[in-house]
Amino acid sequence: MASNQSRTRLPHRNPVSDNDLFQKEQSSIEFQYEQLDPSVDCMRLLEFEAIQPDDGIPHIRLTHATFGDRPRYEALSYMWGDQAVKKKIIIQGQDFLVGECLWEALEYLKNRRNQDQVPPIRYWIDAICINQADTPERNRQLRIMPYIYERASTTLVWLKPKRDYYFLTWPTLPVKQSEPVNPFASSFAVEPTGYAMSGDEVVQYEEEPDESFGSSRVRNARRKREKIEANLAHQAALRTTAEALRDMYASGYWDRVWIVQEIGKASRIRVCLGDRRELSWEDFCAELNLLESHLGSTGMENQLLLIREREEKYNGGYTLPKLLKSHQNAICQDPRDKIYGFVGLAPDGRSFPMDYNKSVVEVWYDTMLFMNEGGRVPSSEIVSFGRMVKEMLGGCLAPIHQLSYEYASWKRPPSYSGENLYNANMFKLHAYVAGVIIARGPSPQKLISSLNDDDEWKAQIHRNFRNDHGSAFRDHDYLIQMALVSENDGCGVLSFPGLHLPFPTDSGLSTNLSTMLDRHTKKRIKAQEKSVEEPTRKTWTKDPSQESTGSFGVSHSAACSYQIERCSSRKSPWKVGFATHEALAGDLICWIPEAKKAVVIRNEDNQMRITGTATAPLDLSQEANTISIYREPKERDTSKYFDLEERFDLSVNAEVLYILLLEGKEFE
């Protein structure tokens, strides 16, 4: 898969943000970049001017360097800070605006001296060394960014504490101790005046012992008191230092997406605590571990996670699925970076198609196809993984009308053979046949507005479920209550009137299930031939006035109600529900446990295709928690409702998988 691969899409894209590729500051328009050579792997490096004017502004210049030149440089890792506050620097005589946090880091670097006294250090800082206004350059630099941090001689982590605690270091004990003192626990405590306690020994002494008494006991008491007071002072200093360090280390820096790659790829790290203190990564980790052992991990979870991941980097610690799961709450300005920010760190992320011209929903498609390829995510987890990625990227990635516009090219059914039925573009889901539609009824709106239609529909429920009408009416009453509180007339039902997604019947259904369906179909046909419909029995057809506009794509459906009969001898898990207005008698209602959705499937010319979604009490019970008619089972064990022989494998593409994950207000 090419690094900038892009599937054909119609021009609906509206990327969330084109400024600030790596959540950093954008340049002012005064400075003009010199183009990087796109034919070689190269970058810009920053160097401070040898003579800095006395104007309080950092003066720098940029040079180009190829990886083949083996340049020596240091990379800066920092937090973008408040973007509302901008400060000026000078690049080769031209103005350039950066954020306050970066400006302070530049001030520190300007005055910093290389410990080895080598010629002036060059730095790589993404906000300055990448032309943020040039999308092709951003895409190229995104690909080589892991190598930039990997080959830097040092990665400098710039932390700016909230308070002025730079000067604090661990205090030393003022009194010689026979055993080390726990600096965070109350090893020593002071009792009321006249008593001191050390361990199990309690010593009584006078406020001002009588010197004339001269006993050794008094002298010992004074020495113990001095020792205790010294240790109490030391303990207080340690606590102050520990809390200050925890506050200093608990910077928003650690919540960022990009620092995971920057820390993970760095060959050597030094941590700068403002402009007062600089320490090695090893010393930094030792202090964090000490803080964790005595104060707990609260406020330091991300730091400790990065430490553990870096320690396990060569033992499978950096797989792309694992990184996305571990850092799903990491913060960035551009939601696409929720994925792109981890690709370069993961050995299994090579060939992922990164492109800032793509929309967020396209990034979701790319991610799911990439994970499905080669089984990076097991098929049993692919739906939950897709839901997680969808939430990471912002939840509602594309409105329904945009999806409908996208799928205009899906007018004709794709051709599937045994070779490509289960390729990386298709996601294998488990589905269960809940039953066959035996009656198609009025829309939710008709059931609510026309009491006569509601009565007729109830009468038909009674006729079809004479031996179990109680549970059928329970489901019906629940659905009516749900429709009354729903903000969507279709109750969240979608239709795919032109979106054919067929799969061969013989490979989709088990032999037993196929036999049951054939038997059920023959039974229904025979019953219809022998019986004459009662004159009072009403049939409902499609209501053109309520159907969605458009002849293809994905759209809101003016849902119809349905009744189903189970194919097996067991009772149906539900008997009535709402489905796309495309549903017809004889269609299957199938339940997909992973997506917690029901779909309508039609058998046509020995191929089965999804025509839309359906609702049922199993999934509706989560939508309206104020309704208590239907009691959701304590266990969501699918076997409680379905037989194993009713299960079959359903193959869907990424677009349909995304639709199955739509929830709540995303239908609006």
In this predicted structure, which of 38-47, 131-140, 142-151, 281-290 has the lowest mean pLDDT?
Answer: 281-290
pLDDT band at 52 (very low <50, low <70, confident <90, very high): confident
Q: Is residue 388 part of a domain?
A: no
Domain count, the chain: 3
**What is the pLDDT at residue 9?**
33
* 271 in the same domain as 227: no
Does pLDDT of 552 surpass 50? no
Residue 30 lies in a domain: no
Does 348 map to a domain? yes
Domain match, 444 and 543 both? yes
User: 599 and 451 share a domain?
Assistant: yes
- Indicate whether 575 and 662 sit together in one domain: yes
3-state secondary structure 612-660: EEEECHHHHCCCCCCCCCCCCCCCCCHHHCCCHHHEEEEEEEHHHHHHH
User: pLDDT at position 433, please?
Assistant: 86
Give the whole-angstrom CA distance, residue 203 versus residue 223.
Answer: 11
Residue 363, pLDDT > 80, answer yes
Strands 597-604 and 607-615: antiparallel
Lowest mean per-residue pLDDT among 46-55, 69-78, 492-501: 492-501
- Assess whether pLDDT exceeds 70 at residue 539: no
- Record the tokens describing residue 475, joined without a space: 């489901």
User: Are 291 and 435 in the same domain?
Assistant: no
pLDDT at site 458: 93
| Residues 214 and 127 both lie in one domain | no
Structure letter (DSSP) for residue 256 = B
Question: Does 280 lie in the same domain as 233?
Answer: no
Q: Residue 65: inside a domain, yes or no?
A: yes
| Domain boundary, last residue among 315, 339, 361 | 361
The pLDDT, as a whole number, for residue 240 is 67
Burial group, residue 41, by CB count within 10 angstroms (0-12, 13-18, 19+):
middle
pLDDT digits (tens, 9 = 90+) for 276-292: 778 899 988 888 887 77
Last residue of a domain, one of 361, 384, 411: 361
Instruction: Say whether both 477 and 613 belong to one domain.
Output: yes
Of 598 and 241, which is predicted with more confidence?
A: 598
Q: Rounded to 5 degrees, what angle do the CA atoms 21, 25, 31 make?
A: 100
Alpha carbon distance 655, 668 (integer Å):
18
Q: If DSSP codes are grouped into helix, strand and coil, which group holds residue 49?
A: coil
SS3 155: strand
Lowest average pLDDT, out of 152-156, 317-321, 342-346, goes to 317-321
- Provide the mean pLDDT of the chain: 73
Contact 657, 424 (CB under 8 A): no
Examine the domain organization and report whether 437 and 326 are in the same domain. Answer: no
pLDDT band at 237 (very low <50, low <70, confident <90, very high): low
The boundaries of the domain holding residue 185 are: 167-239
Within-domain flag for 523: yes
Q: Which of 352-366, 484-498, 563-577 has the lowest mean pLDDT?
A: 484-498
Q: Give the pLDDT confidence score for residue 609 in this predicted structure.
A: 78
pLDDT number for residue 2: 38
Q: For residues 20 and 336, is the Cβ–Cβ distance under 8 A?
A: no
